[in-house]
Chain A
Amino acid sequence: ETGVTQTPRHLVMGMTNKKSLKCEQHLGHNAMYWYKQSAKKPLELMFVYNFKEQTENNSVPSRFSPECPNSSHLFLHLHTLQPEDSALYLCASSQDIFPLGQYFGPGTRLTVL
């Protein structure tokens, strides 16, 4: 058990929908991350939050909007997505921001129709 939970585990949405992915960590960590894993491609780091402050945005399109209300919760708000955004979205946390090892959640499998 990782201590990092993600909901929902699976999500199917249309291109005009608005949905949110939720991540919660029970490890007392200070840093949280969103990653995207597309089929047959390496993991891509999307956003990094440290002590609730966004420290990195890896040129992610504005249709993805992160929110970190506190150190334990991280959201990824989705709107007007494209079919190519279909992927596994992984949340991770770590005690301190890089370089310490990260604990990953199980991911949300997103399908955009």
Chain B
Amino acid sequence: KNEVEQSPQNLTAQEGEFITINCSYSVGISALHWLQQHPGGGIVSLFMLSSGKKKHGRLIATINIQEKHSSLHITASHPRDSAVYICAAQDRDDKIIFGKGTRLHILP
């Protein structure tokens, strides 16, 4: 059974702060996904990782395959970054298991 654990479940921070959201998974994967869900339900796929690090604008995603751990970082956070961030692990059979999400609230 593959479990995907995210922490923290909820995070409130001030505008400008550096944000880190963590994701741990329990078995071998072929890829790790980070998704962003805005209020109202719309979901955007942010990153797909199989190794190393990816950067897109103020968002950075890293993965450590040996430690079975991934992090999503947001630099210079802004209120529009407020959303639920979801980690999803794709196992070697291509089955995708989603974490429960981290609710992020950035205060102006």
Bound-state CA distance A71–B34 (Å) is 25
Bound-state CA distance A106–B94 (Å) is 24
Tally chain A residues at the interface, Cβ within 8 Å: 23
Flag if A101 contacts B90 (CB, 8 Å). Answer: no
A104 and B42 in contact, given A98-B90, A98-B94 (Cβ under 8 angstroms): yes
Flag if B43 contacts A90 (CB, 8 Å). Answer: yes
Flag if A43 contacts B88 (CB, 8 Å). Answer: yes
Does A22 belong to the interface (CB within 8 Å)?
A: no
Does B100 belong to the interface (CB within 8 Å)?
A: yes
Does A102 belong to the interface (CB within 8 Å)?
A: yes
Flag if B99 contacts A101 (CB, 8 Å). Answer: no
Q: Which of A41, A101, A107 contacts B42 (CB 8 A)?
A: A107
- Say how far B108's CB is from chain A's closest CB, in angstroms: 26
Given the complex, which residues of B lie within 8 Å of A42, measured CB to CB?
A: 4, 86, 97-101
Given the complex, which residues of B lie within 8 Å of A54, measured CB to CB?
A: none
A106 and B40 in contact, given A99-B30, A100-B48 (Cβ under 8 angstroms): yes
